[in-house]
Amino acid sequence: MGDISGEPSFYSNAEGYWKDVPPTVDGMLGGYGSISSIDINGSKAFLRKFLGEGEGKMNAGCALDCGAGIGRISKRLLLPLFKTVDLVDVTQEFLDKAKTYLGEDAKRVGNFFCIGLQDFVPESGRYDVIWIQWVIGHLTDDHLVEFLRRCQKALRPNGLVIIKDNVSYQGVVPDEVDSSVCRDLGIVRRLVASAGLSVVYEEQQVNFPKEIYHVHTLALQ
């Protein structure tokens, strides 16, 4: 990954790719729109382990959807569980579409931030959960570590940073099409540790098509 750190084309090529993607669920999922419900149900079960009353449980106040696209995850996962949700994405057209796609619930969106995560500074102490799905591959190692550090500062008490993403079998696999990389689980864990966070819970998403990468969800504090 060292060779792309600070490589502007790594980011500009990705922005170019997403500008040409239709603002639909199928577009967000690279043609795999059919897996959306399996994905959301898995994420809901994961999040519910941490929500609720009692010691160490997370409040259901405010969530941040990172790389939110048109708001697929906000609509079906975060807005049903949290009072307020902020969306951040690098593509303005997706955020514009989110305002209609979210329907009535768009009223409970606090902010629509149009910015890349490498430049985004979440507000300190604002979020109960920061949900980062299918987007860490668009950040260089250094930028990912720096972003996770900023996320940690943005958490409320008992809040969590949650990464849900593809993991490769071994090493770092580049994707020239959308200008991203897929890292193996060991590398992801190492970057998380470099950011000063620890993995409090982790699981693999089940029932996804055999031909796609394994997807793991990691809860970090």
Q: In this predicted model, what pLDDT tens digit does every residue of 157-169 receive, in sequence order? A: 999 999 999 999 9
pTM here? 0.96
DSSP element (H, E) containing 146: helix 141-153
- Assign 187 to helix, strand or coil: helix
Q: Is the dihedral of CA 193, 1, 117, 170 positive or negative?
A: negative
Q: What is the DSSP letter of 171?
A: S
pLDDT, tens digit (0-9, with 9 covering 90-100), for 187-213: 999 999 999 999 999 999 999 999 999
How much of the chain exceeds pLDDT 90, in percent? 94
Distance between CA atoms of residues 111 and 85, nearest Å: 8
Quick one: 104 exposed, middle or buried, by C-beta within 10 A (0-12, 13-18, 19+)? exposed
- Asked if 95 and 112 count as a contact pair (C-beta separation under 8 A), the reply is yes
Q: pLDDT tens, 103-146?
A: 999 999 999 999 999 999 999 999 999 999 999 999 999 999 99
Q: Is 182 helix (H, G, I), strand (E, B) or coil?
A: strand
Structural domain containing residue 62: 2-220
CB-based contact 113:86 (threshold 8 Å): yes
Amino acid 6: pLDDT: 54
As a whole number, mean pLDDT of residues 23-37 equals 96
What mean pLDDT comes out for the span 4-27?
89
Q: What percent of the chain has pLDDT over 70?
A: 97
User: Could you give the number of structural domains in the chain?
Assistant: 1
Confidence of residue 54 (pLDDT cuts 50, 70, 90): confident
CATH number, domain at 109?
A: 3.40.50.150
User: How high is the pLDDT of residue 7?
Assistant: 75
- 3 state SS of 203: strand
